[in-house]
Structure 1
Amino acid sequence: MIIGGAASDSITTGGGSDLIVGDHGAVDYNAGAVADGVIDAVTTSVETTDGDDSVNAGNGDNVVLTGGSSIDLADPLNGDVVTTGSGDDVIIGDYGIVTYNGSGGVSYAATSDPGMGGEDRVVAGDGYNIVLLGDSDDTVQAGAGADVILGDHGSVLADGADRDITTSAVGTGGDDTIVAGGGNDILVGGAFADTISGNDGSDLILGDYGTIYRDSGNALEQAVSSNEATGGDDTIEGNAGDDVILGGAFSDTVYGGNADGSAVISPDADLIFGDSAQIDYTGGVADDAISTASATGAADILEGSEDDDIIFGGAGSDIISGSDGNDIVLGDGGTLGGSSNNDVYTVDSNTGAGDTLYGDAGQDFILGGDGSDTVYGGSDDDTILGDQGRVVRTAGDTVLRTEADDFANGAGDILYGDSGNDVIAGGAGSDTMDGGAGDDILLGSHGVSVEADGSGQANDVYANAPDVSGDTLYGDTGNDILIGDSGYVTRGGSEQVQFVESTDTDQGGNDTVDTGSGDNIVLGGFADDTITAYSGNDILIGDNGEVDYNASGTTREAIRATAIDQGGDDSITAGTGDNFVVGGFGSDVLASGDDDDVIFGDNGEALFVNGLFDLARGTDTTAATGGPDDIASGAGNDIVIAGIGGDTVNTGAGDDIILADIGVVDMSATDSDPTTVDLVYTTEPSLGGDDTVMGDDGDDIIIGGTGEDILHGDAGSDAITGDGGMVTKAGGEYAFVESTFRGIGGPDQIYGGLDNDYMIGGDGGDSFEADLREDTLIGDFGRMTIENDLVTTIVALDWGSYDPIRGSQFGLYDVEEEGEVDQVVSLSDYIVGGLHAASGSGVYQSVSSDAGGAMLSNVNSESHAGDEISVATDNIDVSHEVRPADDGSSHDDETRNHDDQVQLDKDKSQPGNNEQSPIDAPDEPQPSEPEKQVESDGQDDPSGIGQAISGFSGWMLSRLRGIKGDRLDREALAGMGGRKRRVRRWQNGTLDRNDRKSEPVSSVAGRLKYFRRR
C-alpha cells in the first residue's frame, strides 16, 4: 500500500496486488481487526497540496487512486499518469472511493468530489480493468480483457448479484479519449465530446450518460440511456465485434467498424442508436432494443460495419451508412424485438427529421421514418420505405417481410435504389423514387408489404393504403415495375414476376413516372399521371390495370385495364421498342416511338399465346369509362384502339391498324400463327365519337366506327371503313374487307391516299377522296373479297339507290329463287382497268371519253332520284339529271339519308385527257388508243355488254380489252335487272331484295355459301 501525499509523486511498484493513492487519502480496515490486515475501503481527500503524480504499477490486481491535479499531455512529467501491467486493476483518475468484500476483492468503485479533478492519462494492461476517469479531458488506453471504463463520473458494482454501472455528476467531466483493447468492453463517455474506440470484442458503448445492469457473472442484462438532454458530440468506433452503441444526446459520429473505413480484423454485426435507447439482453446477448426520449437528440453521423448491422438514427437530421452487409437502417427512432419477437420497426411518429441514409453494399432494409428523407440503397437488392415501417424477422434473424405500418405520417422523400433489384415505397407525401440499375419495384403509396420466402429473398410486394400525394418515379436502367399509387406484385422464389395489378383503385395522386431504359411495367393509378418511357419493350397503363405471367415468370399471358371506371387524364409517351400503352379512364394524351406498339386510348386488354401477342380488344362497355384521346404512334406496325369519345390518332410509317372506337385485333383467328394479323373488327357500335385518324406510309387498316369520322390512309394499300367494319387477312394479305352494324354510323370523310386502297363508307352520307384507277369503294354497306391484292368479288348489301358507289374487279352473280347461284359473270375476264362508280351524287372521275359516254347513257332509275351526277376529266365537265321513279318518288329507303361523294385524283398523263365530251363520244374506243380497241362481230360487242351492265347495276367499264365473240349468257344478264329475284345468300342468313328493310339474320362475318362459276 502506497500513499503519495502532497506534491508531485512518482510511484513504481513491481509484481503483486498493490494499493496506491497518489495524493491524500485514507484506508479503512475491518473494525476491531486491524491486525488482520484486511482492507475495508479506500477514500481520497481533497487537499490544496495535491500534485501531479506518476504511477507505474506492475503486474497484479492493483487499486490506484491518483487524486487531484492535472497533466499536460505535451509534458509527461506534469499531471497524473497511471500505467498498470496485466491484471484486474481498479483505477480512479481523480478523487474516489473503493470498497472491498470480505475476501479482499473489490466490491465497489466510484468517483467523488466532482469538479476537482484534472486531466489524467491512463494506460491499463491486459485484464479485467475498472477505470473511472472523473473530471477534465482524460485519456485511457486499455489492453486485452473485458474492461469497464467511464470517461467521467460514475460508479461500478463489482461484486454481488447485481453488478450495476451508473454514471453520475451530470454536467461535469470533459472531452475524454477512451481506447479499449480486445475483449467485451463496457465504455461510457459521459459529458462533453468524447472519442471512444471499442477495438476487438463485442463492446457496449454509451456516448453520454446511462445505466448498465449486470448479473452476478458480469453478464449484461440491460443498458439504458439516462439524462438524455445532456452529453456531447461524441465520436465512437465499434471496430471488430458485435457492438452495441448508444450515441446519446447531441450530434454524434458513430462507426460500427473503423473511422478510416479500413477493414477490421473480423466482420461484426453492430446495433447502433444515434441517440438514446434501452437495450435488453438475454444470456448476455442483445435481443430487444428501443429508442427512448425520441424528442431529444440531434443530427448524427452513423456508419455500420462490414456485417449485418441494425442502425436507428433517432431524432435529428441524421446521416447513416449501413456499409457492407445486410443492414437494417431506420432514419429515426425504432424498436428491435419487443413484443414482436425479432422484428425491427419504427416508433414515435412525428418525432423524426429529414435523414440521409445509405444502404451501401449488401441486401439492406431501409426505413426513412418521419421527415423528408434521402435514401440511397447502394449495391445489391435493397428494400426501402420512405416513412414508418417494420422488418419482420425469424428468431434466426431471417427477414420474412418488410411492411409500412403507419399510414398517416410521413413527408416527401427522395429514394434511390442504386444498383440491384430494389423495392422502393414512398409512403405518405410527394416522394421521388429512382430505382437505379437493376430490376426494381417502385410504389408511390404506403401500406406496403414486401414478402420474403424465408431465406431473406424478397418475393411478393403489395400496397394497401393509397397516398393522394403525387409522386415521381424513375426506373432508370433495368426491367422495372413502377406503380404510381397502390398495387400488388406477385413473385416466385427467384423473384420472377408472376402478376402485377393495381389495388385501391379509387384513390391516388397525380404521379410522374419516368421509366428509363429496359422492359418496364407502369401502373399510373388513380388521378392525372404523366408517364415517359425510353428504349425497351414497356407496358404503360395510365390508370388501373394488371399484367399476368406464367408461374415461372418467363411467359407473358395478359395485359388489361382494371377498375375501368376509375382514373384520370393521363399523358403517356412511349419510346422505342415494342410497347403496350393503355390510356384508361379519362381524356389521355398518348404517344409512342418507333417499332411495333399496341395502344389503347381508353380501356382494353392484350392476350398472349406462348408469350407471343395474340389478341387486342377494347373493353369499354359504357361511355362513362373513357374520353376523347390524342394518340400518336411512331414508325412501325402499330395497333391503335382509340376507344370512346372523339379521338385524334396520328400514326407513323408502317402497316398500322387503327380502330377509332372500340374493337378487336386477332392475330390467330384463321391460323395458329400469331405473328401476322388475321382479323380486325369493331365492337360496341353504340359507343364512340367523331374521330380524326391520320395514317402514314404503309398498308394501314382504319375503321372509323360510330360518329362522323375523318380518316386518312396516306400512302400504302389501306383498308378503310367509315363506320363499323371487319378486315380479314390470310397469310398477312387482305382477304375480306366489309362493313358491319348496318344502320349505325355517321357521315364520314375518307381519304385513301396513294396506292391501292379498299374503302367502305358505311352509314350516312360519306365523302371519299380516291383514285379509282387504283382504289375500290363501296359507299354504304358491303364486302370485298380480295386475292393477290385484287378485288375479285364485291357483295353490296344495299343496291341501287342505297349505294351509288361501286368498286373494281368483282364478280356479278344471279341467284335462283331457291337461293342457288345459277350464273356467275366474272367481269375480271373483260376488264383491264377495273370497274368504276357510275352513279351517285357528286361523282368525280378521270375516265376515257367513250367510257364516260357509256356511263351517262346507261344510268338507270335506281340511282338517287333527283341527284346530280357529275363526271370530270381534265378538260370536260358533264352533268346529267337522274330521272325520278315512276311514281315520282325516290327509290331511296325512307330510313336512309345518304349522299355519298367521291373526290377522285386526276392523272394528267393518262390517255384521254384531251378527248371529247362523253356526250359526243362514239360508243366504240378510239382508234388512237389501240389498247382499248375491241374486235366486234356486232351483237357480241363487249362494249355493248359494258353498257348493258351499267344499265342494270349502275356500274361502268373504264377500259375493255378485245375479246373475239361474246361469252356472256344473255339470259343471265337479263336476270340481273330483275330486282325481285336478286338475293344474296350468306352462310348464316339471307338478305332478300323483296324486303329492303330486312337485316342479315346473323353475323356479317359469314361467307357466301353457294356460288359456282360457269
Structure 2
Amino acid sequence: MLNGGAGTDTLNTAKFGGNYTVNLATGETNYRGRPETPVESFINFENIVSGRGDDTITGTDVDNTIDSGPGSDTIDAGGGDDTIFARSGNDTILASPGGDLIFAGEGNDTITTSGPDAVHAEAGNDTVILGDSTELFADGGSGVDRMDASVSTASFRINLGTFATGVEGMRFVNFENLMTGAGDDVIIGTDDTNLIDSGAGDDRVFGRGGDDGLIGGDGDDILFGEDGNDILRGGSGNDRLYGGDGHDEMYGQTGDDLMIGKAGGDSLVGGLGSDILIGGAGRDFLTGGDDDDELYGGVDSDNLDAGEGNDLLYGGDGDDFLAAYGGDDVLKGGNGDDTLAGGLGNDRIFGGTGADEIFGGAGDDVIVGREGNDTVDGGAGNDIILGNFKQDRLSGGAGDDAIFGGDGRDYLYGNEGNDRLYGGQNLDIIYGGEGDDFIFGNDDNDLLYGGDGKDTLYGQQGIDSLRGEEGDDILFGGDGDDRLSGNSGADMLWGGAGNDILYGGSGSDILRGGLGDDTFEFNEVSDSTRLAADVIKDIEGVGSAGGDVIDLSVIDANVTGLNYVNDSFTFLGVKTREEGLAFGAGALWLEDFGGQTRVFGLDDNDGAVDFALWIADGDRFDVDDYLASDFIL
C-alpha cells in the first residue's frame, strides 16, 4: 500500500512498463506485463506518470495531472480542472466537466470534451468530440483532424481557414474535417481537402479549394463545392448544390433539390423529390430519380437519365443521350447529334439541330425531329412524328401513327397499325407496313408502298410510284406522270392528271386513267380473268392517235407446245365468242355486253377464255370504235 499523504502527490510507474489500469479515485490498480505486480494499491495520489504500454487511467474529482506516456491509452479525467499528457499512441481521452488542458501527443487520438477545455490534439489524424462544453478551444495540430460538434444546437459561423466559429467561447484551430449539429450553420472550408457534415438545420457550406466532401443533412441546405473534385450530398430537405470547377459528384437525396454542376464533367443524382439538375460545362451524367424532375445537360456531350415521373430533359450543346423511362416526359435534344428515348408514357420529344436518333417507346408520343438527318422510331402507341427539314428516317412502330416527313428526302415506315403518312417536300420513300394505312406523297417524285392491309395512297404532285401490295387498296396518282401498281387484292387505281401507267395486278381491280395519255398495263393473263376481271373506267382517245392504251406486250400470247418466244396477241376486232375461240392461241377480240366493251384473249388452245377485261365507258365509245392502235400487243 502506497500512501501519498497530504499535498499534491504523483504516482510514477513509468519505469515498470507494461499495461496499467489505474483508478486514482479508488486507489485500485491492475498491472499486465511482467509476472510480479510492482504496485498493488495506493491512496492519496492526485497525479500519475505512466510508462510505455496501453494504459487505462481514471482521474479523481479534484485537479489531476495525468501523463499516460507512450502507448494507446484510455483516459477518463474524472472531475476537476485536469492536465493531461497522452504522448504517442492512439489514445482515447474523456475530459472532465471542469476546464481541462489536454495534450494528446502523436497518434490518431479521440478526445471528448465536457467543459471549458483547451485541447491540443497535436500530431496525427485526431477526432475532437464536443460533449457538454459551451466553451472550448481546440487545436487539431498536424495531420487530418476532425471536429465533431454534432451534439450542439448552436448555429456556428465556422471558417476552417481563420478558426472563427461564430459562437462565443469556442475556437477551432487546424481542423480539416467538421461535423455540426441542429443549428443553422455557415461553414467555410480551406484550400485543402475537407469533409464537412453540417448536420440538421438550414446550413450553408463552402468547400473552397481541394477535393471536398460536403454533407447537408436534414434541413434546406446550400452547398458550394467550388474548386476541386468535390462530393456533395444534400440529405433530406429542399437543398441547393453547386459543384463549381472540377469533376464533382452531387446527390440531392430526399427533397426538391436544385443542383448545378458548372465547369467540369459532373455526376448529378437527384434522388427522391422533384429536382432540377443543370450540368453546365463538361460532359455530365444527370440522374433524376422517380419524381417529376428537370434535367439540363448544358455544354458538351451529356447523359441524362430521368427515371420515373413526368420529367423535362434538355440536352443543350453536344452529342447527348436522354432517357426518360416512365411518366409523360418532355425531351429536347438541343444542338448536336443526340439520342433520345422516351420510354413508357405519352412523351413529347424534340430532336433539335443535328442528326438525332429518337425512340418514343411505349405510349402515345409526339416526336419532332427538327433540323438534321434524324432517325425516329415511335415504338408502341399511337404516335405523331414530324421529320421537318432534312433527310429523315421515320418509323411509327406498333399503333395507329401519324408521320410527317417535312422538307428533305425522307424515309417513312408505318409498321403495325392503321397509320397516316405524309411525305412532304422532296423525294420521299414511304412504306405503310401492316394495317389499313393512308399515305400521302405530297410534293416531288415519291415512292409509296402500302404493304399489308387495305391502304389508300395519294401520290399528289410529282412523278410518283405507288404500290398497293397486299390487300384491297385505293391508289390516287395525282398530278404528274405516275406509275400505279395495285398488286394483289381488289384494288382501285386512279391516275389523275398526267401520262400515268396503271397496273392492277391480281384481283378484280378498277382502273381510272384520268387526264392525260394513260397506259393500262397487264403482265400476265391471270391479272384479269373472267372470274376476277379488271374494269377500266374513264378511258380517253379511243380510235384516234394518242390517248390511252391497253398494254398487253409483256404477256406471252402463245404458251402451247415448246414455244418459248414471247408471242404477241392478234387483234381481231369485234367477234363472237365462237369466232374468237376458233382462232386459237394469240387471239384478242372484243364483244359488246349491254353497251360495255369486253376484251377477251387466248394464250392456248384449250377452248376457254384466258384473259378478260371489262371497259365500262359505253356512254362515249362503242365497241366498234376500238382499233388495234388502242392496244400495245
TM-score normalised by length of structure 2: 0.70
Cα distance change, pair 84–302 in 1 and its aligned pair in 2 (3 A): same
- In 2, are the aligned partners of 1:311 and 1:328 still within 8 Å (CA)? yes
Alignment counterpart, residue 599 of structure 1, candidates 361, 365, 385: 385
Residue aligned with 1:948, SS: coil
**How many Å apart are 1:117 and its aligned residue?**
10
Number of the residue aligned with 1:694:
431
Q: How does 1:959-970 map to 2 (within 5 A)?
A: none
Quick check: 1:644 aligned with 2:407?
yes
Residue aligned with 1:279, SS: coil
Number of the residue aligned with 1:290:
188
CA distance in 1, matches of 2:130, 2:426: 75
Residue aligned with 2:166, SS: strand
CA distance in 2, matches of 1:135, 1:854: 111
**How many Å apart are 1:704 and its aligned residue?**
1.0
Number of the residue aligned with 1:374:
249
CA distance in 1, matches of 2:116, 2:202: 19
CA distance in 1, matches of 2:454, 2:542: 34
- In 1, are the aligned partners of 2:343 and 2:362 still within 8 Å (CA)? yes
Residue aligned with 2:591, SS: coil
Alignment counterpart, residue 534 of structure 1, candidates 321, 343, 353: 343
CA distance in 1, matches of 2:546, 2:417: 42
- In 1, are the aligned partners of 2:409 and 2:427 still within 8 Å (CA)? yes
Residue aligned with 1:528, SS: coil
What does the per-residue CA deviation read over 1:971-995, in whole Å, with 9 as the maximum and x for residues that have no partner? xxxxxxxxxxxxxxxxxxxxxxxxx
CA distance in 1, matches of 2:617, 2:70: 127
Alignment counterpart, residue 920 of structure 1, candidates 571, 579, 589: 589
Residue aligned with 1:655, SS: coil
Quick check: 1:518 aligned with 2:334?
no
Cα distance change, pair 944–84 in 1 and its aligned pair in 2 (3 A): closer
Give 5+ residue unaligned stretches, structure 2. 27-44, 170-182, 558-567, 572-580, 599-613, 627-633
Q: How does 1:770-809 map to 2 (within 5 A)?
A: 770=486, 774-781=490-497
Residue aligned with 2:59, SS: strand
Q: How does 1:74-93 map to 2 (within 5 A)?
A: 74-75=54-55, 83-85=59-61
Quick check: 1:705 aligned with 2:442?
yes
CA distance in 1, matches of 2:275, 2:234: 11
**How many Å apart are 1:12 and its aligned residue?**
7.7
**Aligned partner letter, 2:466:** I
Cα distance change, pair 148–872 in 1 and its aligned pair in 2 (3 A): farther
CA distance in 2, matches of 1:656, 1:481: 28
Cα distance change, pair 360–806 in 1 and its aligned pair in 2 (3 A): same
Q: How does 1:873-888 map to 2 (within 5 A)?
A: none
- In 2, are the aligned partners of 1:525 and 1:542 still within 8 Å (CA)? yes
CA distance in 2, matches of 1:139, 1:654: 75
- In 2, are the aligned partners of 1:280 and 1:288 still within 8 Å (CA)? no
Number of the residue aligned with 2:93:
140
Alignment counterpart, residue 308 of structure 2, candidates 460, 477, 480: 477
CA distance in 1, matches of 2:236, 2:210: 25
CA distance in 2, matches of 1:860, 1:534: 58
**Aligned partner letter, 1:198:** L
**How many Å apart are 1:365 and its aligned residue?**
3.1
**How many Å apart are 1:843 and its aligned residue?**
1.0
- In 1, are the aligned partners of 2:423 and 2:441 still within 8 Å (CA)? yes
Q: CA RMSD in A?
A: 5.0
Q: How does 1:309-328 map to 2 (within 5 A)?
A: 310-313=204-207, 315-328=209-222
Alignment counterpart, residue 279 of structure 1, candidates 156, 159, 164: 164
CA distance in 2, matches of 1:532, 1:640: 18
Number of the residue aligned with 1:177:
110
**How many Å apart are 1:475 and its aligned residue?**
1.6
TM-score normalised by length of structure 1: 0.46
Q: How does 1:432-581 map to 2 (within 5 A)?
A: 432-445=285-298, 467=299, 469-485=300-316, 508-543=317-352, 567-581=353-367
CA distance in 1, matches of 2:269, 2:456: 49
**Aligned partner letter, 1:760:** F
Cα distance change, pair 472–925 in 1 and its aligned pair in 2 (3 A): same
What does the per-residue CA deviation read over 1:93-139, in whole Å, with 9 as the maximum and x for residues that have no partner? 57xxxxxxxxxxxxxxxxxxxxx999997644568x57574854565
- In 2, are the aligned partners of 1:432 and 1:473 still within 8 Å (CA)? yes
Number of the residue aligned with 1:452:
none
- In 1, are the aligned partners of 2:536 and 2:616 still within 8 Å (CA)? no
- How many residue pairs were aligned? 542
Q: How does 1:190-339 map to 2 (within 5 A)?
A: 190-200=122-132, 208-209=140-141, 231-242=142-153, 276=161, 278-279=163-164, 281=166, 289-292=187-190, 294=191, 297-298=192-193, 302-303=196-197, 305=199, 308=202, 310-313=204-207, 315-330=209-224, 332=225
**Aligned partner letter, 2:166:** Y
- In 1, are the aligned partners of 2:474 and 2:492 still within 8 Å (CA)? yes
**Aligned partner letter, 1:860:** G
**How many Å apart are 1:327 and its aligned residue?**
4.2
Cα distance change, pair 918–271 in 1 and its aligned pair in 2 (3 A): farther
- In 2, are the aligned partners of 1:850 and 1:918 still within 8 Å (CA)? no
Cα distance change, pair 288–696 in 1 and its aligned pair in 2 (3 A): closer
Number of the residue aligned with 2:121:
189
**Aligned partner letter, 1:693:** I
**How many Å apart are 1:444 and its aligned residue?**
1.0
**Aligned partner letter, 1:523:** K
What does the per-residue CA deviation read over 1:247-290, in whole Å, with 9 as the maximum and x for residues that have no partner? xxxxxxxxxxxxxxxxxxxxxx78888x6454352778986543
- In 2, are the aligned partners of 1:858 and 1:951 still within 8 Å (CA)? no
- In 2, are the aligned partners of 1:523 and 1:541 still within 8 Å (CA)? yes
Number of the residue aligned with 2:259:
384
Quick check: 1:949 aligned with 2:616?
no
CA distance in 1, matches of 2:616, 2:318: 71
Cα distance change, pair 118–922 in 1 and its aligned pair in 2 (3 A): closer
- In 2, are the aligned partners of 1:376 and 1:416 still within 8 Å (CA)? yes
Cα distance change, pair 234–516 in 1 and its aligned pair in 2 (3 A): same
Quick check: 1:865 aligned with 2:546?
yes
Residue aligned with 1:635, SS: coil
Residue aligned with 1:190, SS: coil
Residue aligned with 2:618, SS: helix
Cα distance change, pair 868–945 in 1 and its aligned pair in 2 (3 A): closer
CA distance in 2, matches of 1:857, 1:588: 43
CA distance in 2, matches of 1:646, 1:837: 28
**Aligned partner letter, 1:279:** A
- In 1, are the aligned partners of 2:52 and 2:70 still within 8 Å (CA)? no
- In 1, are the aligned partners of 2:513 and 2:539 still within 8 Å (CA)? no
CA distance in 2, matches of 1:482, 1:65: 70
Number of the residue aligned with 1:769:
485
CA distance in 2, matches of 1:857, 1:190: 106
**How many Å apart are 1:197 and its aligned residue?**
2.0
Give 5+ residue unaligned stretches, structure 1. 1-8, 14-18, 25-47, 59-63, 95-115, 153-171, 210-230, 244-268, 333-345, 388-409, 446-466, 486-507, 544-566, 603-625, 662-687, 724-744, 782-800, 808-831, 881-911, 930-942, 956-1014
Number of the residue aligned with 1:758:
474
CA distance in 2, matches of 1:749, 1:950: 30
- In 1, are the aligned partners of 2:220 and 2:238 still within 8 Å (CA)? yes
CA distance in 1, matches of 2:117, 2:441: 81
What does the per-residue CA deviation read over 1:214-265, in whole Å, with 9 as the maximum and x for residues that have no partner? xxxxxxxxxxxxxxxxx1133553342236xxxxxxxxxxxxxxxxxxxxxx
Residue aligned with 2:470, SS: coil
Cα distance change, pair 713–542 in 1 and its aligned pair in 2 (3 A): same
**Aligned partner letter, 2:394:** I
**How many Å apart are 1:411 and its aligned residue?**
1.6
CA distance in 2, matches of 1:854, 1:635: 36
Q: How does 1:341-356 map to 2 (within 5 A)?
A: 346=226, 349=227, 352-353=228-229, 355-356=230-231
CA distance in 1, matches of 2:302, 2:444: 38
- In 1, are the aligned partners of 2:184 and 2:202 still within 8 Å (CA)? no
Number of the residue aligned with 1:412:
265
CA distance in 1, matches of 2:197, 2:621: 93
Number of the residue aligned with 1:794:
none
CA distance in 2, matches of 1:418, 1:287: 24
**How many Å apart are 1:868 and its aligned residue?**
4.7
Residue aligned with 1:707, SS: coil
**How many Å apart are 1:598 and its aligned residue?**
0.8
Cα distance change, pair 371–834 in 1 and its aligned pair in 2 (3 A): closer
Number of the residue aligned with 2:520:
843
